[in-house]
Amino acid sequence: MRLLAIFCAGLALVSCGPPRLGELPAPSPADQPQRGGELNVGTVSITLSALSWDPADWAWKSNHDTGAVREQLFAADLSKAQSRGGPFPFTLDAYIPDDAIRGELAESWAWEGPLTLVVRLRRGVMWPDKPGVMRARELDAEDVVFTYAYLSQSPKKQADYFDHIDRVEARGSHTVVFHMKTFNVEWASRFGYGYYSGIIPREAADIDQGDWRNVTGTGPFKLDRYLQGTVQSYVRNPGYWDSETFGWRVDRLPFVDRVTYRIIRDEATYVSALRTGRLDILEAVRWTMAKHLQETTPELKFRRWLAPQGTLIALRVDRAPFNDLRVRRALNMAIDKQRLLESLYEGKGELMAFPQHPEFGPYFQSLDEMPSSVKELFVYNPEKAKALLAQAGYPKGFSTKMQVCSCSSAQMDLAAVIADYWSRVGVKVAIEPLEYGAFLSSMTTQTHGPTYLYATGHVSPLSTLRKSFLTGQRWNAAMYSNSSFDRELARVTEMRDEGERIEGVRDLTVRGLSEAPYIWLPTPYVYTAWWPWVRNYGGELRAGAVRPGPIYARIWIDLDLKSRMGFQ
């Protein structure tokens, strides 16, 4: 019915001509886009400075920091956001359902056979003039080919990420052809909207990609200021190509003159910055702080979302005692996870929401649907834990070390609670806090300790399995390796039939959970908070893999309302 109404409305406009202003209700000035102002954001990574500006290095953080500058072939269709009457929340880190994808730099795409994808680029998309880097010119197919070559050949890329692609070629000035070796169901994200997808100009071959001063792109903003540990600031790109439609009115993007990321390490300080209006948006607020803000600053708007990261403790299965399944299962049972959910999060979370996320639809199975081999890991049973440890040769327990990032007060608190639980079954834990860079580096160089507490994104139904369980993967902190699991995962990744693929993902998820290379911890609900002067926004967080830029480009600031509320 809704589609029929829209269709009929469209016919009315065609037959009667454009509406005259006198025939329409007078719009509220606040409901029409306003230009100007600065958008100050405390992003989901508010405590972290950029790790690298190189698109092949720490790609998730690079997407976050350059996603308003560098564009991708595809992006989320934000017109389908829940806040605009659509079905999609757009809060997951890196997953866009197929029916929520739009072309960004790609104008259209089609399969030219089972293993050949043809992408036609938009015309008139311009690279801005960047002194010392390049002169202004139009984006073309050679830029996409160059970007793919740069990323696919980088030693910093994730292992096997582009193995399904044979070659990429330009067919004329604005057509790019991807020749596949094998079908990969994640083709749209792998070099479309995912972690290694930001398009860079071919002139980048001659510049230092790690220098923020050299960052350039076709996106709505240009990076013009970076102070490590303090601020990242982006100024409006006046030549940006995209627009937003409001009824019959079309407005060029972006609306704000500047977007600034504030880097603030202390939770109390960034919450205070929101309350005092120095932040317009705070994207990730713990439930305790959200409750406090709702009581003290009721003018704020809020949105609750289930964290798109799983919280895990990796147990290195490549060394004793964690190479013994009995030990791994025992340490899971030694933690009262239901109590954790109730005490740390006041029940505001889910006991099991990893490696699959409920927003993955039928790929996700609730704990109630799981077999006993999985359910048992989520039931507090210290006596059975002790018995399993004794069977494994550790009747008096053992000592170990747990590494945790000092950048997260929540993770530090959680580590202390886990250590207490394990001590009750004889396992003594020395907690080792590490600064973020050192913390991540220890894992990626495989020098991390025997247990490693971290949060990791769900990505997608298949990629979560790949990153957590596939042999040799960078984010497989448990060092889990099983050749039959690897083969089955490869087979499922090539499945074109979604029904078969869902069944395969479910089977592999149960298998990975049962093997217990990780301690599976509850997933909390998190809040986004923003002031009402932030318009055309409903708490969306991602328009691609860890990429908020297109969202910020569509926001405008109601400067009059901000002034009336006592803020300048």
- Domain at 32-262+531-559: CATH code: 3.40.190.10
Exposure of 503 by Cβ count < 10 A (0-12 exposed, 13-18 middle, 19+ buried)?
middle
Per-position b or e across 240-252, b if 16+ CB within 10 A of its CB: bbbebeeeeeeee
Residue 86 has pLDDT above 60, yes or no: yes
The predicted model scores a pTM of: 0.86
d(CA 540, CA 537): 7
Summarize the confidence of residues 410-428 as an average pLDDT. Answer: 94
d(CA 302, CA 300): 7
Dihedral angle over CA of 246, 247, 249, 251, nearest 10 = 20
CB atoms within 10 A of CB 134: 18
pLDDT at residue 249, rounded to an integer: 81
User: Angle CA(185)–CA(187)–CA(188) in degrees, nearest 5?
Assistant: 110
Q: What is the DSSP letter of 107?
A: E
Alpha carbon separation from 221 to 101, 127, 280, 367, 526 (Å, rounded): 22, 12, 18, 43, 28
Dihedral angle over CA of 157, 455, 501, 329, nearest 10 = 120
Domain boundaries, the chain: 32-262+531-559, 309-524
**Of 437-441, 505-509, 550-554, which range is least confident?**
437-441
Those residues with Cβ within 8 angstroms of residue 195's Cβ, 6 or more apart along the chain or in another chain? 59, 60, 63, 94, 158, 161, 545, 546
Contact 429, 401 (CB under 8 A): yes
Residue 25 has pLDDT above 90, yes or no: no
* DSSP helix/strand/coil, 28: coil
* DSSP helix/strand/coil, 465: helix
Contact 347, 341 (CB under 8 A): yes
Please compute, for residue 18, the number of CA atoms within 13 A of its CA located in the half-sphere on the CB side: 5
Q: Which residue has the tokens 């600053």?
A: 297
Give me the CATH topology for the region 309-524. Answer: Dipeptide-binding Protein; domain 3 (3.10.105)
* Cis peptide leading into residue 18 (ω within 30°): no
Q: Which residue has the tokens 């595809």?
A: 74
Contact 495, 487 (CB under 8 A): no
d(CA 416, CA 40): 34
**Antiparallel, parallel or unpaired: β 74-76 and 243-246:** unpaired
What are the tens digits of pLDDT across the range 311-370? Answer: 999 999 999 999 999 999 999 999 999 999 999 888 999 999 999 999 999 999 999 999
- The reply to whether 32-262+531-559 and 309-524 are identical in fold is no
pLDDT at residue 527, rounded to an integer: 96
User: Angle CA(19)–CA(12)–CA(17) in degrees, nearest 5?
Assistant: 40
Axis crossing angle, helix 498-515 with helix 461-469, rounded to the nearest 10: 30
Computed over every residue of the chain, the mean pLDDT equals 91
Reported as a pLDDT band with limits 50, 70 and 90, residue 10 is very low
**Of 179-193, 253-267, 432-446, which range is least confident?**
432-446
